Amino acid sequence: MTLMGEVYVWLDRRVKYTEEEVKTVLGLSIDKDLQTSSRYDLCRRVEETFGLEKDSFWTLQSTQKIRFATQQARNLKKTE
């Protein structure tokens, strides 16, 4: 899985996303600064937001990132 993740990151750096792909995600408007952030920068933002060590989120496999985000969303919903 790690090799596949590295290949994905390599490919992702070369992809030029359209405005439609970055402006909204599942109906959620994305702030301008996040629209232009790299995959790495977005991971760093998650690490900073949740007080994680540098590169700890970045080095996770994709499914682990989704699992983390899902649990954080669930935790936030509980506090509403």
* Distance between start and end Cα atoms, the chain: 36
Q: What is the pLDDT of residue 80?
A: 76
Predicted pLDDT at 4: 64
Tell me the residue range of the domain where 7 lies.
2-78
Q: Determine the Cα–Cα distance for residues 39 and 58; give it in Å rounded to an integer.
A: 9
**CA geometry: angle 36, 29, 65, nearest 5 deg:** 70
Instruction: Please tell me the total count of domains within the chain.
Output: 1
- In Å, how far are 21, 61, 72, 73 from 54, measured between CA atoms? 27, 15, 18, 21
Question: In a 3-state reduction of DSSP, which class is residue 38?
Answer: coil
| Residues 6-61: tens digit of each pLDDT | 665 666 566 777 888 889 999 999 999 999 998 899 999 999 999 999 999 999 98
